[in-house]
Structure 1
Amino acid sequence: MKLLHIDSGILGDHSVSRRLSAAVVADLKARHPGLAVTYRDLVSEPLAHLTGAHLAAGSADPSQVAPGLRADLDDGAAALEAFLAADIVVIGTPMYNFSIPSQLKAWIDRLAIAGKTFRYTEAGPEGLAGGKTVIIASSRGGFYGEGAAAAAMDHQETYLKVIFGFFGITDIRFVRAEGIAMGEDQKQKAIAGAEAAISGVNGTLARAA
């Protein structure tokens, strides 16, 4: 199996989402010794945000595309191919301002390509990237889960469910640490709870593999 590991938290070693995504991957590697892992840190190795020039280049003569833009387009194509090739995708993402990091959004925008991850049909859109498992290692400063007073403000996990579902992926799992900005005791409790849940999340995947 092939695993694609993506991180998007901007706090480096202090990032809870990075800690959780690394733990998810380490557990999967222990369960599957032959697992091939590809890693991309979207903070140290970002993809540029889409511009009109990106869209215009899609229908332009390649020889007329500026070298810098050509390199960026090639990087985006490589990111898409790595995603399509993966059986498992592990994404570390904090909630920033009720949504996802802009670095992660820029990466997702390179995946959302008609004819690659989805297509439009007479019956409506159809996802083309099904058959994968996506595991989201999520960290949030407050409480936004189902039933929480702030649940309607969650545009992080809800967005990720929608976009990967749009790509045809039905197996989307979450390892979540909430309330990490609400005092050190709550932070450590949330991290411990999320790390304890990893075995259960990965265990069902291992049995299905």
Structure 2
Amino acid sequence: MPRTILHIDSSITGSQSVTRRLTAEIVNRISAPDTEMLYRDVTTGVPAIDGDWFAAVRQTPKSPSAAQQALVNVSDALIDEIRRADTLVIGLPVYNFSVPAQLKNWLDQIARAGVTFRYSEAGPEGLLTGKRAIIAMASGGTPAESPVDFAWPYLRHMLGFVGITDVTLVAADRMAIDAKAAEHSAQEAIAALAA
């Protein structure tokens, strides 16, 4: 049983969201009464990175201004949640064949050279190792792991880039084409998850 789960939702559709329902089911499946739960809804409170952010993270730990430190603090808090977690459960709705902008904001905030990855002669090395991630993906028409699926491969790559390589996909894909089959497939994948 995971000791700490970081539950991340990224759907903009609120109570109508398939991924929000699936992440809740996954968390329920793999948690125990003593599991510590961390929750992050990336649709609020995770700003996009910009030039000010880039300058701020490059300044630390030298002498950042108060404004720069505030930008770094947001990124540090998001990274701290991952460090605390044994397992990440991430909702991945597919928007226009890719990840939601809000989830991309979170990924940009947590991918920091020297903090969550480093470059070596052998290439990039992820520093957030020893963790497991379960991705709950839902799409209207995009088949998971198909040539037009730019969401799941990207998210899997980015998690691996920061060191999280034990990644499982729970897919309810092509909901607009056959919702019943998509739901059945997702439920089978959830049932097969190790607690």
Query: Per-residue deviation at 1:124?
Result: 1.4
Secondary structure of 2:52's counterpart equals helix
Runs (4 or more) in structure 1 with deviation over 3 Å come to: 69-72
State the Cα RMSD in Å: 1.6
Residue 9 of structure 1 is matched in structure 2 by 11
TM-score if structure 1 supplies the norm length? 0.85
TM-score by length of 2: 0.91
Deviation at 1:143, TM superposition (A): 4.1
8 Å CA contact 1:87–1:133 kept in 2: the answer is: yes
Structure 2 CA distance for aligned equivalents of residues 125 and 165 of structure 1? 10
2:186 maps to which of 189, 194, 206: 194
Contact 1:3-1:36 within 8 A present in 2 as well: yes
What is the one-letter code of the residue matched to 2:38? T
Instruction: Give 3-state SS (helix, strand or coil) of 1:179's partner.
Output: coil
Which runs of 5 or more residues in structure 1 are unaligned? none
Q: How many residues align?
A: 190
| Helix, strand or coil at the partner of 1:53 | helix
Give per-residue Cα distances to partners, 1:97-117, cap 9 Å, x unaligned: 110000001001111011222
Structure (1/2) with the larger helix percentage: 1
- Residue equivalent to 1:41: 41
**Cα distance, 1:189 vs. partner?**
3.1
| Contact 1:5 1:38 (8 Å CA) reproduced | yes
Q: Distance in 1 between matches of 2:49 and 2:142?
A: 32
Gaps of 5+ in 2: none
Larger-gyration structure (1/2) = 1
The C-alpha deviation readout for 1:8-67, integer Å capped at 9, x for no partner, is 0000000101110110001112xx221101001111x231100101111231733x343x
State whether residues 141 and 180 of structure 1, in contact with CA within 8 Å, keep that contact through their aligned partners in structure 2.
Answer: yes
1:1-209 matches, within 5 Å, as 1-29=3-31, 32-43=32-43, 45-58=44-57, 59=59, 61-62=63-64, 64-66=65-67, 70-146=69-145, 151-182=146-177, 186-201=178-193, 203=194, 206=195
- Post-superposition shift, 1:85? 1.5
